[in-house]
Amino acid sequence: MREVSVGEHLDQYHITELIARSGMASILKAIDTETGRTVALKVPYPQFESDVVFYERFRREEAIGQRLDHPNIIKVLTPRRKSRMYIAMEYVEGTSLRALLRDKRPFAPERALKYARQVCGALVYMHGQGVVHRDLKPENLLVTDADQIKIMDFGIALDESARRLTWAGLSTTIGTPDYMAPEQISGRRGDARTDIYSLGMILYEMLTANLPYEGPNVYAVMKAKASEDPQPPSRWVPDIDPRLEEIVLHAIERAPRNRYASAREMLADLEDPARVQVSGRASQLQPPASWKRLRSVVMTGVFFASLAAILALLVYLARRYPAAPARTQGAYRGTVR
């Protein structure tokens, strides 16, 4: 099986443009010759089509997409016939949320809330269908020209109504570390609260143009997420509304039991932040271990600098005010009558 090229036909679809390439598939723009509709095709590279694990994941991604029908989720279509492995989807004009975040400037709170509400509303629907996305990230959120969010890529989604995949090659920890929940990093399957965590991380980034964990490499970030508290959004945006900070920190609690219990519960706060009670989560966070080490180094430096200053002062005083020579015992005797 070879790659499909622009200008060729794939079943009922005429390929017109290469949109993008990922690590495992090409995304192609095409025209449905039966309906005249513009669609997007996700076609895996030939070397993956014979991989049993990849095939099962791809088939499941298509089946989940065909089941879901929500305005904030990319709709997966059902071709009349298929001669090879691919997924046909609705074509939507827009750009990824990642592209919008590249400016490295915080979104206005209302804009961030608008996007977060749409994603969270889709999660309420999706979780009600027994589907957990497990890979929410800005790259998988398309913002249309009408400012509507569309969730894409259900490649590692969990379908609770389907049998569990047990191949060793299908790791439960695959995903994007910056947005993965701590339980995913430790190898667990995750549940609806895993998506809540990822949405909290995305909202954090929209509000601050930063992420709550830093490190020199991906492994340091993963370790920090599994064992340390996040940096509060107010570190980056000091005047952030405390209620928005509360929503974010509630969503990204390290232990799943401490997060929002459901997407519906989080959506209620996103739709009406004024109802949120500030619990003081931000003030209870412990600084990162790297900050503790830096603080220790700084305090040690301050101690030795202070000690050096005191010694220098003593030396100066000793030179400025030398002690008077002491009188001998004989001199005293000489003055006695």
Asked: is 94-286 a CATH 1.10.510.10 domain? The reply is yes
- For the chain, the structural domain boundaries read 1-91, 94-286, 290-329
Q: Alpha-carbon dihedral of residues 140, 141, 143, 148, nearest 10 degrees?
A: 140
Q: What kind of fold does domain 1-91 have according to CATH? A: Phosphorylase Kinase; domain 1 (3.30.200)
CB 41 within 8 A of CB 89: yes
Q: Where are the alpha helices (DSSP H) in the chain?
A: 52-67, 97-101, 109-128, 182-185, 192-208, 218-227, 242-251, 263-271, 281-284, 289-320, 329-334
pLDDT tens-digit readout, 199-230: 999 999 999 999 999 888 888 888 898 889 99
pLDDT tens, position by position, 70-114: 999 999 999 999 999 999 999 999 999 999 999 889 999 999 999
Domain pair 1-91 / 94-286, same fold: no
Which tens digit of pLDDT belongs to each residue from 228-276?
Answer: 999 999 999 999 999 999 999 999 999 999 999 999 999 999 999 999 9
Eight-state DSSP code of residue 73: B
Length of the chain: 337
**Total-model pTM:** 0.81
- At residue 301, φ and ψ (nearest 5 deg) are -65, -40
Which of the residues are catalytic?
135
Inter-residue contact 33 to 13 (CB < 8 Å): yes
What mean pLDDT do residues 290-310 have? 53
Buried b / exposed e over 8-44, threshold 16 CB at 10 Å, is eebbbbebeeeeeeeeebbbbbbbbeeeeeebbbbbb
